[in-house]
């Protein structure tokens, strides 16, 4: 398993991480144990969860599955999102009082005395970023958090956070977790240049677009029972004719070079110099093994250019 530095931190993270959104939603504890066991066996050391995942149960499930392996891995969680699966920022989610309550809850559920990467899940427009960063800085000084990151920030918001941290001698974000894939490349226009300028790593979520980039869904086929697309009645906002056309073109190119669509999707992301770890959610041990194999592929510059051209850098959000 290849590893990369996470921004300017002292953390080394596996090129593929395990996104834990499915714990408590599509995976029970027995399934979680099997998946996380497989991830550890494959060399995955980066586990990304949030206090709202699995109706608030995902952190506890992850802790149980990790058991004695806690100190061997990089543990990331998040604060500041609405509950109930609606997404978006919680009311006052970036405030000092919210953060101090949230971190104690996460530490307890994760059965740990420190969090390696504590991430601001959604920017709270009502709380000044200085207040948020000062609270997080205190957590770092107290030893409850090692490093801090953000999620769903724009390039402008990330740049402002970096400048505020620098101006006030506070710990700054070492990572930015945003949706990024061959079908969702809008962050390349604004966020990525800011991240590269300040040595902040990108952590892509939805790298497989909820399964569309695995090649298992077909334009005119009914999704198999038990899949997310079946539960959503056909893929929801993840699908369109344009997106299916791109996936079909990627599949055709993959056949030319002996690689699957999944290989192209994860391999291309993992090869980007500003990406530290590709966070992919899974529901089975086999999916973890497939993701690790995909990230182990080393595409040539020509292959990367061809994949990029097929997906289209102008394909935004």
Active-site residues, by number, are 53
CB 127 within 8 A of CB 92: yes
150: which residues sit within 8 A by CB, 6+ positions away? Answer: 119, 120, 123, 157, 158, 161, 173, 175, 176, 177
Residues 6+ away with beta carbon under 8 Å from 233 = none
Write out the two tokens for 279: 């966070």
HSE-CB of 66 using CA atoms within 13 angstroms: 26
Tally Cβ neighbours within 10 Å of residue 96.
15
What six digits make up the tokens of 240? 């369109």
Total count of residues recorded for the chain: 317
Instruction: Give bridge partners of residue 179 from the DSSP assignment.
Output: 205
Counting beta carbons within 10 angstroms of the beta carbon of residue 252, is it exposed (0 to 12), middle (13 to 18) or buried (19 or more)?
exposed
CA atoms within 13 A on the CB side of 212: 25
61/58 Cα distance (integer angstroms): 5
Tokens of 137: 């800085």
Q: Residue 312's CB: how many other CB atoms inside 10 A?
A: 14
Closest CA to 203 of 77, 51, 41: 77
> Are 36 and 61 a contacting pair, CB within 8 Å?
no
First to last CA, the chain: 30
């Amino acid at each position: 398993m290849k590893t990369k530095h996470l921004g300017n931190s002292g953390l080394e993270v596996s090129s593929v991480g395990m996104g834990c959104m499915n714990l408590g939603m599509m995976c029970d504890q027995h399934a979680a144990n099997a998946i996380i066991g497989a991830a550890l066996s494959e060399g995955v050391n980066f586990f990304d969860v949030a206090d709202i995942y699995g109706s608030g149960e995902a952190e506890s499930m992850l802790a149980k599955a990790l058991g004695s392996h806690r100190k061997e891995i990089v543990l990331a969680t998040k604060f500041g999102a609405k509950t109930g699966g609606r997404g978006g920022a919680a009311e006052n989610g970036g405030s000092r009082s919210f953060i101090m309550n949230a971190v104690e809850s996460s530490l307890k559920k994760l059965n740990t005395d420190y969090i390696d990467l504590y991430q601001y899940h959604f920017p709270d427009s009502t709380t000044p970023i200085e207040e948020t960063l000062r609270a997080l800085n205190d957590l770092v000084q107290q030893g409850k958090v090692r490093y801090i990151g953000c999620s769903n920030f724009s390039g402008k918001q990330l740049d402002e956070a970096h400048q505020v941290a620098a101006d006030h001698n506070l710990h700054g974000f070492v990572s930015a977790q945003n949706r990024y894939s061959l079908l969702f490349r809008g962050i390349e226009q604004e966020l990525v240049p800011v991240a590269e300028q300040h040595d902040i790593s990108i952590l892509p979520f939805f790298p497989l677009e909820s399964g569309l980039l695995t090649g298992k869904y077909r334009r005119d086929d009914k999704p198999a029972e038990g899949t997310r697309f079946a539960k959503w009645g056909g893929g929801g906002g993840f699908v369109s004719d344009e997106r299916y056309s791109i996936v079909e073109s990627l599949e055709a190119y993959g056949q030319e070079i002996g690689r699957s669509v999944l290989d192209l999707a994860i391999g291309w992301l993992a090869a980007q110099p500003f990406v530290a770890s590709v966070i992919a959610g899974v529901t089975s041990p086999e999916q973890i093994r497939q993701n690790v194999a995909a990230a182990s592929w080393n595409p040539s510059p020509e292959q990367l250019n061809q994949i990029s051209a097929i997906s289209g850098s102008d394909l935004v959000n």
